[in-house]
Amino acid sequence: MHWSELLHQRMYPPKVLLVANTSWYLYNFRLPLIQDLRANGYAVELVAPHDSYTALLEAEGFTVHNWLVARSSVNPFSEAHALVDLLRIYRREQPALVHHFTIKACLYGTIAAKGARIYRVINAVTGLGHLFLGTRKRSRLMRRAIRPLYKAAFTARRSTVVFQNAADQEKLIQLGITDGDRAQLIRGSGVDIEHFNPAAIAKAPAPGAFHQPLQLLFPSRLIREKGVHELLEACQRLWADAIPLQLLVAGAIDAGNRSALTPAELSTLQADSRIRCLGHVADMRAVYAAADLVVLPSWREGLSRSLVEAAAMERPIITTDVPGCRDVIDHGRSGLLVASQDARAIELAIRLLLDNPDLAHRLGKEARRKVIAEFQVSLVNQSTLHTYKQLLGITLNRKPLLKGLF
């Protein structure tokens, strides 16, 4: 055993770094985990580019080390600088374990961890993008070129690769990028079922009844892969039949995403009186409660947090039969699944629930029961904490023995 591993094992409480390409991600998706880690005795610090959410994380009492990385950059000089900067942070902080979220953090973080002699690494795959799922020639060529980097990151010694859905896990095992021994399935980041509780919100429609006009909610960032264009086409078909329907859009343009809607496209939505653009909503509970139906026709997801939140709020859900969406919904039992990129299928599903409000009510009730059984944050965090204990088992179990070595 290398001397640096013994030094890591001597740490108590164990110092862990959680790393992502935005502070926004850590605050919005991983704050309960970060808090649970601290409550369980870990010395938790964060690594991410400083943004408007950094101060919120610091207000919770966490140090956020500023990582100089551009989320969408492909400039080789910028990327090399991002890798060197992360290596500098790891060498300075010397954590016992690093936990990477988002793909750049996984790739660069694993290389930096090796350079800093950090031997316990968790790489969280939050979803597979065009690189792995695209069928165009460019996607295939890039996949072939970058596969060795992924394989190096996801087969690193004493590392664990965490997937949010089984399809992504099977895909990377099939491609030989990781193996079943180090792969682990932890579905999403979980939700607080007491916070997302329809009983605490007064605006929810009565069972078996809809608002007039029907309130249809799209809870997502405004990017093409979320199916926003297909949903708009479905709404146009319904409006053409004089069906009273208001579309609520709860999400902002994702400026760092190449498939984001343009400002001109957003202006077109905002100019339509049948559409209410709410922008980013920090607390979505009242918005969910005001909705009759929730529709998220994503092309793909890691595991949709919006769907889990909507299900916890007992909303009837229509989503696509793709990984990360079908993991949340059991078709015909806790929601409806439709074909991806199919506006007609979305339209027919909306019509079905519009004509059967009692069915919509039953789907919503069952959706919350599924969340309580499978997706509440305490269950998800327990699985993650178990992974930490497995990787740090030598540290925690041998602390008295190691005291005598120094």
The pLDDT of residue 405 is 29
Q: How far apart are CA 23 and CA 49, in angstroms?
A: 6
Mean pLDDT, residues 307-312: 98
The vertex-197 CA angle with 366 and 356, nearest 5°, equals: 40
pTM over 0.95: no
Give me the domains of the chain, ranges plus CATH numbers.
Answer: 3-188+377-401 (3.40.50.2000), 198-374 (3.40.50.2000)
Over residues 157-177, the pLDDT tens digits come to 788 999 999 999 998 999 889
Q: What's the chain look like in SS3?
A: CCHHHHHHHHCCCCEEEEECCCHHHHHHHHHHHHHHHHHCCCEEEEEECCCCCHHHHHHCCCCEEECCCCCCCCCHHHHHHHHHHHHHHHHHHCCCEEEEECHHHHHHHHHHHHHCCCCCEEEEECCCCHHHHCCCHHHHHHHHHHHHHHHHHHCCCCEEEEECCHHHHHHHHHCCCCCCCCEEECCCCCECCCCCCHHHCCCCCCCCCCCCCEEEEECCCCEHHHCHHHHHHHHHHHHHCCCCEEEEECCCCCCCCCCECCHHHHHHHHHCCCEEECCCCCCCHHHHHHCCEEEECCCCCCCCHHHHHHHHCCCCEEEECCCCCCCCCCECCCEEEECCCCHHHHHHHHHHHHHCHHHHHHHHHHHHHHHHHHCEHHHHHHHHHHHHHHHCHHHHHCHHHHHCCC
- pLDDT score, position 348: 98
Measured at the alpha carbon of residue 78, what is the angle toward residues 72 and 79, in degrees to the nearest 5? 70
Predicted local confidence at residue 134, as pLDDT: 57
Residues 115-143 pLDDT 10s: 999 999 999 998 776 555 555 666 666 66
Residue 232, C-beta contacts closer than 8 angstroms, at least 6 positions apart: 247, 269
**Can you tell me the mean pLDDT for 296-315?**
96
Q: pLDDT at position 399, please?
A: 42
Average pLDDT over the chain, rounded to an integer = 89
183-201 mean pLDDT: 93
Distance CA 120, CA 54 (A): 26
Provide the phi-psi class of 68: left if phi over 0, else alpha when psi is between -120 and 50, else beta.
beta
